[in-house]
Every structure is written in structure tokens, then in C-alpha cells.
A and B are shown apart, each in its own frame.
Chain A
Amino acid sequence: QSALTQPPSASGSPGQSVTISCTGTSSDVGGYNYVSWYQQHPGTAPKLMIYDVSKRPSGVPDRFSGSKSGNTASLTVSGLQAEDEADYYCSSYAGSNNLVFGGGTKLTVL
């Protein structure tokens, strides 16, 4: 069982918005603003999409946004495009030099 809880799947039609949740505890997500999100297409390495809860690395479209409330972080993908179909993983610092990930959410673009 993963340390952070994500829904196994999410879906939306092209152009729509979809939000993926990531629930932890006060010892990880709720305790630090060090939440990140990674996108992984099949057979490829993960790609950093969001860090520090809501910041985007250079080159990541502004259709991707992040937020946090209490022990739950969220990734919102607006204006869904076919290439957004992938697995998404959240991650959080959990203290004592420990990093934890979520179990992943498979995003399907209908």
C-alpha cells in the first residue's frame, strides 16, 4: 500500500478539466509544502510537472496546476488534450529525509 492515496483512475473529454487528488497525513502532505506531481507515459521515465505544491518547471504548460488543502493535494489539468493521457503520481516530503509517493492515477482522455 502506497503512503499517499490517489484514485486509480480519472477521465475527461478533450477540452474539459479534470482534478486528481492525493491524500496523505499531517506528517507528509499536510505538514510540508513540498508536494510534487509527475507524469509518466507507458514505458517512459516520469516527468516533473508540479513542485512546491503549485509551481511549474519551465516547459510545462500552464494547463497543469496544483493546489493543497490540509492533508490533500490536487492536480488539475485544464483543456485536456490527447497527449495528457498518462499516469500521474504525487509525491511529498515526509520528514527525516524521507520522500513518499502516491499509488498513481491513470488519466484517460475520452
Chain B
Amino acid sequence: EVQLVESGGGLVQPGGSLRLSCAASGFTFSSYWLSWVRQAPGKGLEWVANIKQDGSETYYVASVKGRFTISRDNAKNSLYLQMNSLRAEDTAVYYCARHLRFCSGGNCYSAIYYFDYWGQGTLVTVSS
């Protein structure tokens, strides 16, 4: 069974830092693109960042570029999000999400536009 379990959320002051973790199990972690997606209280979803299977490529939404860093440790089946210079507008539930991957006839490719599994989320509150 695929499982994604986020941790590390909490209350932090504006300008502070926080590191989120996502522990994965039930699948070959190193074969998948992964993302962080957030949802502000009562609001819609917002894609934050994603990372390629080997960590060689990372992409960010404009609002977090230069402040957030996504990384992974394939040996530990873990995904991370280092968040610096936090702002009130970063307050949200942060989800770890796995990108869809298709395999046919021994060939596999990642559909990095879609997410097939999500964690339960961890709440980050930025407030003084």
C-alpha cells in the first residue's frame, strides 16, 4: 500500500524557517517525481515545487522561488521542503504528492502534470 506521511509542520514567526519531511512507503520511491502542494485554510490547492527521481531537476512556483528548497533522499525514501523567510501567506496545509507514472511493455514515463497519491498533510502556520 502506497503511503506518504508528512511531518514537521507547526507555528513559526514571520521570517522564520521550517523543514517539512515526507516519509514514503509501499512503492519504489526512486522511480517517481514528487511534489509539494499546499492549501491555505478554506482555499484552493496550489502547487509549490517538484523534484525529479534523482533530484537533478527541481521546479518552483514563482512565489516561493529563492525561499523554499525541495530535496529528497532516495536511500531514506524521504522528501523534504526547507522553507525560509516564511510569510503569513505561506500558512497552509502542505501535502506531499506522488506524480503519476505509466508503464507499458517495460517502458515507463512520468506524467508530471498529475498526482496519484497524496499524504494527509501537515499544517504550517506563520504568525507572530
A residues with CB within 8 A of B: 2, 34, 36, 38, 44-48, 51, 57, 89, 91-93, 97-104
Contact = CB atoms under 8 A, between A and B. Distances in A.
A54 B103 CA distance: 19
Q: What is the interface of chain B mostly: helix, strand, loop, or mixed?
A: strand
B45 A91 contact: yes
B118 A45 contact: yes
Interface of B: 43-47, 50, 59, 61, 95, 100, 111-116, 118-121
A80 B45 CA distance: 24
Contacts of A2: 44
Contact of A102 (B44, B47, B100, B112): B44
18 contacts: A2-B44, A36-B113, A45-B95, A45-B120, A45-B121, A46-B45, A47-B118, A51-B100, A57-B116, A89-B44, A91-B47, A91-B113, A93-B113, A97-B112, A99-B47, A101-B47, A103-B43, A104-B43
A92 B112 CA distance: 11
Nearest to B118: A45
A46 B115 CA distance: 9
Contacts of A92: 113
Contacts of A36: 113-114
B111 A51 contact: yes
Contacts of A97: 50, 59, 112
Contacts of B119: 45
Contacts of B116: 48, 57
A101 B44 contact: yes
A51 B112 CA distance: 11
A99 B46 CA distance: 8
Given A45-B95, A51-B100, A93-B113, 4 more contacts: A36-B113, A102-B44, A103-B44, A104-B43
Contacts of B50: 97
B59 A89 contact: no
Q: Taking each of B95, B113, B121, which has the highest tally of chain A beta carbons within 10 Å of its own beta carbon? A: B113
Q: Which 9 A-B pairs have CB atoms at the shortest separation, nearest pair first? A: A45-B118, A97-B59, A99-B47, A34-B113, A103-B44, A101-B45, A104-B44, A93-B113, A51-B114
